[in-house]
Structures are given as C-alpha cells and as structure tokens.
Chains A and B, each alone.
Chain A
Amino acid sequence: MVEVANGTDFSSENLACGGALPCKAVLDIYEQMILGCGIAPKGA
C-alpha cells in the first residue's frame, strides 16, 4: 500500500490498476496523471 498525503489508500485495488503492479510501479507509470488529479504521492 502506498499512502498519499491526504491519507487516501492508494493501493492497487483502489487504483484499479489490475492488481498485478506494485504500487511503486503504478506511481512510476501514472505519476503525472496522479499529480494531475491533485493527489500527492507520499514516499514514492
């Protein structure tokens, strides 16, 4: 699980990323879009 700054669980389930990707990989792939959604990744 990767937490984001506002406390949201950014697990692969919540992101519906297919569940196969580690969260770091999810952030690597989607970093710009996650920021574009106004979400602050923490510790990524």
Chain B
Amino acid sequence: MSEPFLIGEAMTGGYGAVDILNDCTIAVEKGEIAVIVGPNGAGKSTAMKAVFGMLNLRGGQVRLDGEDITALSPQDRVAKGMGFVPQTSNIFTSMTVEENLEMGAFLRHDDISGTMAQIYDLFPILKEKRYQAAGELSGGQRQQVAVGRALMTQPKVLMLDEPTAGVSPIVMDELFDRIIEIARSGISILMVEQNARQALEIAHKGYVLVQGANRFTDSGQALMQDPEVRRSFLGG
C-alpha cells in the first residue's frame, strides 16, 4: 500500500508529563477528506495539533508527501504546504476581511491577487464585505474568513479544527459544501469535528479516537453503518 500524502504515525505525546496521544495514527490522501471524531477529551484537537507541530511527540512521526517533518516547527510546516485553521481566535477581528487574507499570504512574495480572487469566488460574501472588520461578521462568515486566510498560502493540506463549531445547521451544510469543493481542487482536508454524523457523511476516511488512541478507522460511510460506532458515538 502506498504512503498516504500526510500521515501522523504512531503519535505519542502530550503537553506535559502525561501523554494525551497514545500510539495514535491519522492520515489523509491527496484531495481527500479525513475526519477525526470522538467524545470530548478524546484527543481529537491534540492529534491535529501534533500533526501541525504544536505538540512535542515522545514517539511517532509526521510525514508529508514522503518527507519526515516531525522536527519542523509549525511555521516551517506552513511553508511546506500545511494550512491550519484553529478552533478559536481564528481571525484578526479588527482587521478587515481583506487584511485577514493578506495576513494569510504572509509567506508569499509573489502576486496574491489571483488566489484572493479564487477565495472570493469560493466565498462570495467575503468579496462583498472585504473592507469590513472581520469581527463584525456573523459566525459562519468568520469561519469563511478563517478558511480563506488559510487558503492564501496555497496549501497542499488544509487542517480544520471544528470549523462548524457554533454555527447553525444551514451554515454548517454550506461550509461542508465548500470544504468538499476545496478537496475536489486537489487539497487534502484533515478535519476535527463535533458534528460527527454530518462530517462522516462527507469523509473519505474517518478516525474515531478514544483516550488519545485509534478506536475505529474506516471510510466515513462504513463508520456510519457500523453498529458499535453508531451506538457509541453517533447517538444510535
């Protein structure tokens, strides 16, 4: 079997002496959507932060396109093609929408106008509100700014930490549609989600974590049909 495009393999580590992740493996193929679900405290966001380099691993490896990036800092991983959208504080609230996108292009030294136009095509409301302070936008629009900001680096992999937290079901569906569209453009998506059922519906691969370890791993559809997954994690 070929190497996944991005893989955090057998990751073990935590923020202090206590390990939160225990031999946890997360991977995503090129242009596919992988979703991490599980109960509160399962280590979902921690697993994503470990892949992004915000957590020192005691064991395991992170590889991107076959390259071992375990020792790289998060900002160096961005330069390698990783985009990251945090769960909270993911926009600069007093900057305008367009300034937020410009901040996303911080590492770029070429013409960013084409990328910005693509993001405005993906999220038309952002073009309309491009001179408005991002902090004045609705929750769903803020998430669009956050995703747009991360896309400004033209990442190969986009990592989203609970992108639909706090948004309405309609906005959630719209965001998921845009995420599918992004994946179809060839960008791999690694996403942590509380809305497990909806997220697994669009996932090529799903990871159910419990206590920092892999409990179930399969395609999104297979996980949704698994009786134990349904009973334990999807509300029956």
Tally of B interface residues using CB under 8 Å: 26
**In the bound complex, how far is the Cα of B85 from the Cα of A30, in angstroms?**
11
Looking at chain A's contact residues, the main secondary structure is loop
Complex contacts, B90 vs chain A, CB 8 Å: 32-33, 36
CB contacts (< 8 Å) of B91 on chain A: these are 33
B103 within 8 Å of A (CB atoms): yes
Q: Which chain B residues border A33 with CB–CB below 8 Å?
A: 86, 89-92, 149
Q: Which of A5, A18, A36, A39 has the most CB of B within 10 A?
A: A36
Q: Beyond A35-B75, A36-B78, A39-B106, is A16–B99 a contact (Cβ under 8 Å)?
A: yes
Q: Are A30 and B75 in contact (CB under 8 A)?
A: no
A17 at the interface (CB under 8 A from B): yes
B106 touches A16 (CB 8 A): no
Residue of B nearest to A26 (CB): B92
Shortest CB-to-CB span from B200 to chain A, Å, is: 25
Q: Is A35 a contact partner of B78 (Cβ separation < 8 A)?
A: yes
Instruction: Give the number of residues in A that approach B within 8 Å (Cβ atoms).
Output: 16
Query: CB of B150 within 8 A of chain A?
Result: yes
CB atoms of A38 and B153 under 8 A apart: yes
* Set A15, A16, A35, A39: member contacting B54, Cβ < 8 A: A35
Q: B86 to A17, Cβ gap below 8 A?
A: no
Task: Identify which of residues 1-31 in chain A touch chain B, using a CB-to-CB cut-off of 8 Å.
Answer: 5, 8, 15-18, 29-30
- Tell whether, in the assembled complex, residue A37 and residue B106 are in contact, meaning their CB atoms are under 8 Å apart: yes
Known: A16-B99, A32-B54. A38 touches B79 (CB 8 A): yes
- The interface centre, meaning the residue of A8, A15, A18, A33 with most chain B CB atoms within 10 A of its CB, is A33
A39 surroundings in chain B (CB, below 8 A): 75, 106
Given known contacts A35-B54, A37-B106, A40-B75, A18 and B94 CB-to-CB distance under 8 angstroms: yes
Smallest CB separation, A23 vs chain B (Å): 13
Q: Is B104 an interface residue (CB 8 A)?
A: yes
Q: Is B74 an interface residue (CB 8 A)?
A: yes
Contact in complex: A37, B94 (CB < 8 Å): no
Who on chain B is nearest to A15 by CB?
B92
- In the complex the two chains form, what is the Cα distance from A36 to B107 in whole Å? 11
The 10 closest A-B pairs by CB, nearest first: A38-B78, A32-B86, A36-B84, A35-B74, A38-B107, A16-B95, A18-B94, A40-B75, A37-B106, A38-B75
